[in-house]
Copies of this chain bind each other. A is one copy, B any other.
Amino acid sequence: MGHGAAPPPSSAPRTRLDAASAAKVATALQALATPSRLLILARLREGPLAATELAAEVGMEQSACSHQLRLLRTLGLVVGTRSGRQVMYSLYDDHVAELIDQAIYHVEHLHLGISDPPARP
């Protein structure tokens, strides 16, 4: 794998989140904040895949998928290595894999869409 990542037990941030770190984290999380990219990442979570196959599996056009892959590459979340004509894509890190897992897990256990009016006495 190249880059390992030990799973975090229960990581409470000791230091306060500053604006710079917030921007960094927010930027990285934007990669998971869209259905298309999330499907791409979730699929790559199961194993490497070529670009065209990937596009087909997540149900989007090659061009659109390639654009998103470029973004994910630029962010360092995925890597693409040429193999003949095709480019095999895979997740960069175990951190990426775990980030995806944790995000999906926690969000799935959330009560979403419960719009409550802003507090009534």
Asked, given contacts A5-B109, A22-B38, A118-B73, whether A101 binds B29 with beta carbons under 8 Å apart, the answer is no
Could you say which of B34, B93, B106 contacts A98, with CB atoms under 8 Å apart?
A: B106
Instruction: Mark each residue of chain A from 68 to 83: 1 if its CB lies under 8 Å from any CB of chain B, else 0.
Output: 0010011111011110
Give Cα distance in the complex from A105 to B21, angstroms. Answer: 11
Q: Kindly report which residue of chain B lies nearest to residue A23, judged by CB atoms.
A: B35
User: Does A63 reach chain B (CB closer than 8 Å)?
Assistant: no
Give Cα distance in the complex from A46 to B17, angstroms. Answer: 11
Please provide the chain A residues from 46 to 65 with a CB less than 8 Å away from any CB of chain B in the complex: 46, 59
Interface pair A22/B8, CB less than 8 Å apart = no
Interface pair B75/A17, CB less than 8 Å apart = no
Interface pair A119/B81, CB less than 8 Å apart = yes
Give Cα distance in the complex from A38 to B12, angstroms. Answer: 15
Chain B residues whose C-beta falls within 8 Å of the C-beta of A119 in the assembled complex: 80-82, 87
Interface residues of A, Cβ cutoff 8 Å to B: 5, 7-8, 10-13, 16-17, 19, 21-30, 32-35, 37-39, 42-43, 45-46, 59, 70, 73-77, 79-82, 87, 92-93, 95-96, 98-99, 101-116, 118-121
